[in-house]
């Protein structure tokens, strides 16, 4: 049974939703919730490929914010699920602008964690005039060393989970797990790509929390979640997140007029605290909050509380 999250705002229904055509291949699912005419806030989910959920609306006061959520290309309720063609960071930035225009929003608060922090930073650096503030969690900067850490480094802390992840691949191919997984995740046969997707996704879920969380692992193992997450993460990893190595730090001066909060779990193994620290040095205007008893997940208690406090501080920031 899912435990109630009392430090989040109460559940709030979506008041509008739709499917926005993006091109001849992709369609974006979007929804809004909260106060009509309220302060606009955009939620960017992680992954890439994880998709947004109703729980993500609860980081925002529904009596104040008009919250916008969407599933990125190939993720969640966007179609086609797991599609990697025409799916780059630059495409996603354009999609955000298309959605903003569609909803007739001039500027908005942007909230993102993990891959969502990557996309939030890339979007804010491309369109700083459209961003009133940033709330970021579990910083991932898309650098080669961060990608390699996910693929091999996390075994130092989660050897059992990594053994299951690597064990899905024949021993002869384990010197290049990314290539091995890519070939299986993109195989048209569900009997090949679905087990690979579950192996990849449950590896991530197993490493996401400070304490073991069977609920989290089960959620990551859901068929649709696993396929979108694993296939798109592998696709983006193989292309270095479609960013120059170190680009988000090099271009951090474009954020100097944007207020922000960086929330980081001290024991975040998926996105280690070093990246959050480096981002703070490059963007000194941001507030940097380290949660001493948390891992990676946005649903860690201390991280939940810090993210809600951050959205509360951003009220009225326009």
Q: Are residues 59 and 115 in the same domain?
A: yes
**118-154: per-residue pLDDT in tens?**
999 999 999 999 999 999 999 999 999 999 999 999 9
Q: Tell me if 1 is assigned to some domain.
A: no
Phi and psi (nearest 5°) for 251? -100, 15
Q: Tell me if 8 is assigned to some domain.
A: no
Q: Are residues 21 and 102 in the same domain?
A: yes
Q: Are residues 220 and 276 in the same domain?
A: no
How many percent of the chain have pLDDT more than 90?
Answer: 97
317 and 133 in contact (C-beta within 8 Å)?
Answer: yes
Distance between CA atoms of 73 and 175, rounded to whole angstroms? Answer: 30
The per-residue pLDDT of the chain, averaged, comes to 96
What the block records as the tokens of 282 is 């490059």
Cβ count within 10 A of residue 96:
24
DSSP 300: S
Is residue 7 pLDDT above 80, yes or no? yes
Q: Tell me if 3 is assigned to some domain.
A: no
Distance between CA atoms of 189 and 14, rounded to whole angstroms? Answer: 35
**154-193: per-residue pLDDT in tens?**
999 999 999 999 999 999 999 999 999 999 999 999 999 9
Query: What is the pLDDT at residue 2?
Result: 42
Q: Are residues 139 and 40 in the same domain?
A: yes
DSSP 32-50: EEE-TTSEEEEEE-STTTT
Q: Are residues 84 and 19 in the same domain?
A: yes
**203-260: per-residue pLDDT in tens?**
999 999 999 999 999 999 999 999 999 999 999 999 999 999 999 999 999 999 999 9
Which of 220, 241, 262 finishes a domain?
241
Q: How many domains does the chain have?
A: 2
Is residue 300 pLDDT above 50, yes or no? yes
Distance between CA atoms of 276 and 296, rounded to whole angstroms? Answer: 12
Q: Are residues 256 and 202 in the same domain?
A: no
Active site residues: 114, 268, 296
Q: Tell me if 60 is assigned to some domain.
A: yes
Q: Are residues 134 and 32 in the same domain?
A: yes
**65-84: per-residue pLDDT in tens?**
999 999 999 999 999 999 99
- The three-state DSSP-derived secondary structure of 176-190 is HHHHHHHHHHCCCCH
Question: Which band of pLDDT confidence, cut at 50, 70 and 90, is reported for residue 318?
Answer: confident
52 and 45 in contact (C-beta within 8 Å)?
Answer: yes
Q: Tell me if 9 is assigned to some domain.
A: no
Q: Are residues 42 and 189 in the same domain?
A: no
What the block records as the tokens of 208 is 């996401």
Query: What is the pLDDT at residue 308?
Result: 98
Give me the domain span that covers residue 155.
Answer: 145-241
Element (H, E) at 117: helix 115-126
Q: Tell me if 4 is assigned to some domain.
A: no
Cβ count within 10 A of residue 149:
18
Query: What is the pLDDT at residue 22?
Result: 97
Q: Are residues 236 and 269 in the same domain?
A: no
Q: What angle do CA 53, 58, 61 make, to 5 degrees?
A: 145
**Residue 75 sits in a domain of what CATH number?**
3.40.50.1820
Which of 221, 241, 261 finishes a domain?
241
98 and 22 in contact (C-beta within 8 Å)?
Answer: yes
How many percent of the chain have pLDDT more than 70?
Answer: 98
Q: Are residues 249 and 127 in the same domain?
A: yes
Q: Are residues 117 and 228 in the same domain?
A: no
Peptide bond connecting 298 to the previous residue in cis, omega within 30 degrees of 0: no
Tokens 């599609």 found at: 83
Distance between CA atoms of 220 and 206, rounded to whole angstroms? Answer: 9
Which of 183, 209, 241 finishes a domain?
241
**106-115: per-residue pLDDT in tens?**
999 999 999 9
255 and 229 in contact (C-beta within 8 Å)?
Answer: no
Q: Tell me if 2 is assigned to some domain.
A: no
Q: Are residues 27 and 133 in the same domain?
A: yes
Is residue 1 pLDDT above 90, yes or no? no
Query: What is the pLDDT at residue 5?
Result: 60
């Amino acid at each position: 049974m899912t435990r109630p999250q009392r430090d989040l705002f109460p559940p709030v229904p979506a008041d509008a939703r739709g499917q926005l055509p993006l091109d001849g291949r992709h369609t974006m699912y979007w929804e809004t919730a909260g106060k009509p005419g309220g302060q606009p806030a955009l939620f960017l989910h992680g992954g890439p490929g994880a998709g947004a959920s109703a729980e993500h609306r609860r980081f925002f006061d529904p009596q104040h914010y008009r919250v916008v959520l969407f599933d990125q290309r190939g993720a969640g309720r966007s179609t086609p699920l797991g599609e990697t063609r025409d799916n780059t960071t630059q495409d996603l930035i354009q999609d955000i602008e298309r959605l903003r225009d569609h909803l007739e929003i001039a500027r908005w608060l942007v909230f993102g964690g993990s891959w969502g922090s990557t996309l939030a930073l890339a979007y804010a650096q491309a369109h700083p005039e459209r961003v009133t503030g940033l709330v970021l969690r579990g910083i991932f900067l898309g650098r080669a060393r961060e990608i390699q850490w996910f693929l091999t480094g996390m075994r130092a802390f989660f050897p059992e989970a990594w053994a299951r992840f690597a064990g899905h691949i024949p021993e002869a191919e384990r010197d290049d797990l990314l290539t091995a997984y890519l070939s299986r995740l993109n195989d048209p046969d569900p009997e090949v790509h679905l087990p690979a997707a579950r192996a990849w996704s449950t590896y991530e879920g197993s490493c996401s929390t400070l304490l073991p969380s069977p609920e989290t692992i089960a959620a990551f193992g859901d068929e649709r979640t696993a396929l979108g997450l694993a296939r798109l993460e592998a696709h983006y990893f193989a292309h270095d997140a479609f960013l120059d190595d170190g680009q988000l730090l090099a271009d951090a001066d474009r954020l100097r007029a944007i207020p922000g909060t960086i929330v980081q779990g001290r024991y975040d193994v998926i996105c280690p605290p070093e990246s959050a620290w480096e981002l703070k040095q490059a963007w000194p205007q941001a507030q940097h909050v380290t949660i001493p008893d948390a891992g990676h997940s946005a649903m860690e208690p201390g991280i939940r509380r810090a993210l809600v406090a951050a959205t509360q501080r951003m009220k009225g920031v326009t």
